[in-house]
Structure formats: structure tokens, C-alpha cells
Amino acid sequence: MKTRIWAARSVATVTGVVLAGALLAPSAVAHSGPDPKGPGKHTSGKKTPAKKTPAKQAPAKQAPAKPVVDGAQQGQVAGRKCVTSRDVASAVVDYSGSGLFETVFRSATDEQGHAFLNDSRNPGVWINLALVPGAPKCVYDTALAVTEEDPGHLYITLLASNGTLHQATCTSASSSPFSPANLATACAPGFTELADTPV
């Protein structure tokens, strides 16, 4: 009888020790799985110190350079000049029945936001579009379109640095190429802002 009591006490003691060990063991050891907060490989209960690597800084994101404009100061705001990327556009009359056949109209901007027009019948002459009333002071982009008649129409569209579009309709005739002397008259009344430009 004493042997059975002693055996029962021994089993109870061993069971108590095993249960206490299971309760005190870390969850990674108890479940035989990796410790999500521990090192990558679990080989023993010891944690190896993590290597310190210098923190990489993400490159600073820069907003695309957008030109700044103030009409009262001719493209200057707080002492900064209007700065844009260069742009070019062209349109050609391809109707062989027109006196303007194969006339090429080109527009271009410089890095200071000035826009210019060239008529292929007047080679080497670039007309500053600021001569046309209503032209924006700081131009970011240009576009051209032309009709086939003689006289026809040349449509000049300018994208101002603030995102608004301005358009002028100019009368093009085979008798007189565009020049600094006649452009403002040919494009009268001048540039007008297109309504509801999505800016």
C-alpha cells in the first residue's frame, strides 16, 4: 500500500513539474514553431543580437518643376523668373489646291517661358507671340492647327504656367507671310482664355 502511495505521489510530482515547465516556456518552444519576435532561425533559446545596419533614407521626392508666373511682373514672382522646359509644335498646309500648299507654321518656347512663331515663307524669322494681345507671360507648351483654304486660319494654343489654355485665331493668306509687323493684326482680337480649362 505504501508503494502505491509513493508511486502516486511521484507521478503527481513529475506531472506538476512538466506542467509548470510548459507554462513557463516561451510560446515558440511550447509550439515548436518560430518566435515571430525572435531571430529568423530558432536553433536554441538564445537570441543573437540583430546586426545594426545604417538606415537608408528614401530619396526625397521632388515635385516636377512647374514654372511660376505673375502677369504684373512679366513672369517673375518673389524675384524668381519663369522657368519652363523647351517645346516645339508644327502644322502644315497639305492641300495642293491652296496657295498656302506646303507652308509650315512652327511654334517654340524657350526656357524663360517666351513663345515664338515661325512661318516657313519667312525663313529665320521667329515672331515673339507676346506681340499678340492677351498672350500669357509664362508659356509652358504650344500647339498649332491650320485650315486648308486661302485665306485660311491658323489656330495657336498656348498653355500658361498656371495651367490655363489661351487661343488665338490668325488669318493666313498666301499673299503675306506672318511677320512681327502684321501678326497682331492677323490674330486680332488676340489670345483669349479657353473657358473651364481643367487645371
The torsion angles phi and psi of 147, rounded to 5 degrees, stand at -95, 165
What is the pLDDT at residue 125?
A: 97
Q: Confidence band (pLDDT; 50, 70, 90) for 77?
A: very low
Q: What is the mean pLDDT of residues 130-135?
A: 97
User: Rounded CA gap, 77 and 137, in Å?
Assistant: 12
Q: Give 38-64 pLDDT, tens digit per residue.
A: 555 444 555 555 555 555 555 554 444
Three-state DSSP class for residue 106:
strand
- Those residues with Cβ within 8 angstroms of residue 109's Cβ, 6 or more apart along the chain or in another chain: 84, 86, 87, 88, 115, 116, 139, 140, 141, 142
Q: Give 146-196 pLDDT, tens digit per residue.
A: 999 999 999 999 999 999 999 999 999 999 999 999 999 999 999 999 999
